[in-house]
Structure 1
Amino acid sequence: MSDDDHLDHEVPTRVKDEPAAVPAVHRAKTAGPVMRRGAAISLLPGLSLALAVAVVGTVVGKAFPLVGGPVAGIILGVLLATWVRPGARLRPGIAFVGKRILQASVVVLGSQLSLAQVVRVGTDSLPVMIGSLTVCLVAAYGIGRWLGVVGDLRTLIGVGTGICGASAIAATAPVIGAAGAEVAYAVSTIFLFNIAAVLAFPLLGHLLGMSQHVFGLFAGTAVNDTSSVVAAATTYGPASANYAVVVKLTRTLMIIPICLGLAWLAGRRGRGTSQAAAGRRLNVVKLVPVFLIGFLLMAMANTLGLIPASAHHGLSELSVFLITVALCAIGLSTDLAALRRTGPRPLILGACLWVVVSATSLGLQALTGSL
């Protein structure tokens, strides 16, 4: 008998009471939940750390409204990461928070918007709003290239200045796949010029003799972050604050077309020249990030009155807290050495864009007869 015949005919005996082999399908069914539970458990340390830092950041933000929770959170995260670099046990949860919680915060942000507000701000505000944004994005591309600022960081500073500060950066970062260091640098740059705007804009408004309506439009289109818009406009007067908030929320809607455009460009850059890649060109669904669809649906729900007015404050607080948690995680994953290697050029870009947007807003108001 050959060795092959021996192998073919030999039947191994099974010890009595020994369980039969578990079928592969059953193993796959049981392994899946176990692996998912294991992956979820691995997120807890980093998630818990980000939440703890976010709570402290929120307290600091409440004590110093000019700073705000999100900026306080990212600063605390960076400081903590500098003192004790997060190890391998913390990194999965930190990465999850920096991406998924960031996207969730953008979805919740949509609950603050009503598409009807765009109509109520009047035709006089739309040219200033859209014109300022267009000039800002063009300037970000041109000046950024001239300064040698890399593409993703240039984009983040541009949308942060042109749309709505940290919220726009939060929405844009996952679309273009920006690194944590770039997000941290962009948010820090936007924060610096938010502070400058809050301090300087009311003085400039009084110097130019702006009315409450004019200053509200100026603050709503030229100040980056919503909290800073409120701070600057409230300093000028309550009527200015009310109008500025409406302009700012309407301006925030620009997140949708800008991010969709960036998603389309990112999709084009990621595709090769093969026929298979070309066949994916019409797959629009893959170009639309799911969280942006959620953002739009939330805004539509608010427009239709499906979100009660009594829930707006709570949802606004939730959105800010989620952004704070996400930015804490980004701060915890920030490499300050990489920021130092980036140099001062992104900061110069932020300064240039701040001046460009402010001048454009005033110039367009003068052209439309509002100023």
Structure 2
Amino acid sequence: MEKLVKTEGEESSLHKLLNHKFSPKELIFLFALIVCLLPFISAPIALLIGIILAQFIGQPYPKLQQKATHFLLQVSVVGLGFGMQISSALKVGKDGIAFTVVSIVGILIIGYFLGKLLKIEKKTSYLIAAGTAICGGSAIAAISPVIRASEKPISVALGTIFILNALALWIFPWLGNLLHLSQSQFGIWCALAIHDTSSVVGAAGVYGTEALEIATTVKLARALWIIPLAFISTFIFKNKGAKVKIPYFIGLFVLAMVANSYIPFVQAYHHYAVALAKTGLTVTLFLIGCGLNFKVLKTVGFKPLVQGVLLWVVMAVATLWTILYIG
């Protein structure tokens, strides 16, 4: 009987889906989504399409957007792992660890004082600094429950980070070419100075294959610092016993690299996984763009945006100077 009810329920859901009358907004959104699957649509163009749609029709599926974006990003990053060698990744990770430690500590300290100076609410300021220091939205999502942040600080911090991510996707490749940065230099720079993994991979992918490999490896190694920062945050905000989310997909990324390094079958067909991963990241950025409208700007406010921009500029300039003259 239960099986029969379940089957009837599934058939009913399928019937509703097949008979669903799509609104003009939904049709435009779905058409744009299909366009972003085409091979000649780059990540920056997909983001721009999403932003344009956000201003005129909005996001017809707001409840699904966050889950879909999160899932697609993680799957795509794991897919990129199939195109990388573990030996190269270890070397890149070792070279970038000093930059990572110094930049994370430095940005958190500067963020604290900027928050005090601008009189920004403590948790909002901390989330913006954490998002800038480590990996944008992922860091904010992991740390916000640990510090028991309410919806308002989370929305403001995420809005600030997403706006700057969108700008970074166009600005960084342009600056990299203007400054004649090598693939290695650009890969490390964008991994350290761009917030979210999606924009890091998008910008590096535009710059070149080597830059993409280096940027992805350094960024994911950097993302692991979410774990110690989350534990430290429980003491800063006196919330002992709060649960810390561990980014397990990074482990799958490492396994994908190992498979590509030592399994001949994977080596022979890895380019298919990488191609699908790049398409997935393009769609991810399209979905992120669909969430960036004027309402987001209004939610963020002036002072948090100023803090986010100043931290971003400090991070970008300091890491670039280090890469050019010390690294």
TM-score (norm 1): 0.59
Q: Structure 1: where are the runs of 5+ without partners?
A: 1-25, 235-240
Could you list the per-position Cα deviations for residues 117-165 of structure 1 after superposition, in whole angstroms to 9, with x for gaps in the alignment? 2333385544234433443455455535654277479646754x556xx
- 1:45-84 → structure 2 map (5 Å cutoff): 52-57=31-36, 62=40, 65=42, 67-69=44-46, 71-82=47-58
Distance 1:110 1:353 in 2: 30
**Contact 1:50 1:97 (C-alpha < 8 Å) held by counterparts:** no
- 1:104-253 → structure 2 map (5 Å cutoff): 104-121=75-92, 124-140=95-111, 142-143=113-114, 146-147=117-118, 148=120, 151=123, 155=127, 159=131, 168-169=135-136, 171-172=138-139, 175=142, 183=158, 185-204=160-179, 212=182, 215-216=185-186, 219=189, 221=191, 224=194, 225-229=200-204, 231=206, 242=210, 244-253=211-220
Aligned to 1:22: none
Seen in structure 2, the aligned counterparts of structure 1 residues 146 and 323 have a Cα distance that, compared at 3 Å, is: farther
Seen in structure 2, the aligned counterparts of structure 1 residues 367 and 231 have a Cα distance that, compared at 3 Å, is: same
Distance 1:99 1:143 in 2: 30
Seen in structure 2, the aligned counterparts of structure 1 residues 154 and 254 have a Cα distance that, compared at 3 Å, is: farther
Seen in structure 2, the aligned counterparts of structure 1 residues 199 and 347 have a Cα distance that, compared at 3 Å, is: farther
Deviation at 1:356, TM superposition (A): 1.9
Larger Rg, first or second structure (1 or 2): 1
**Contact 2:78 2:252 (C-alpha < 8 Å) held by counterparts:** yes
RMSD, matched Cα: 4.8
Instruction: Give identity over the alignment, percent.
Output: 19
**Contact 1:115 1:299 (C-alpha < 8 Å) held by counterparts:** yes
User: How many residues are paired up?
Assistant: 308
Aligned to 1:5: none
Distance 1:327 1:220 in 2: 16
Could you list the per-position Cα deviations for residues 337-370 of structure 1 after superposition, in whole angstroms to 9, with x for gaps in the alignment? 35313223444334323332233324545785x4
* Counterpart residue type for residue 200 of structure 1: L
TM-score (norm 2): 0.65
**Contact 1:73 1:325 (C-alpha < 8 Å) held by counterparts:** no
* Counterpart residue type for residue 229 of structure 1: A
Seen in structure 2, the aligned counterparts of structure 1 residues 326 and 217 have a Cα distance that, compared at 3 Å, is: closer
**Contact 2:43 2:285 (C-alpha < 8 Å) held by counterparts:** no
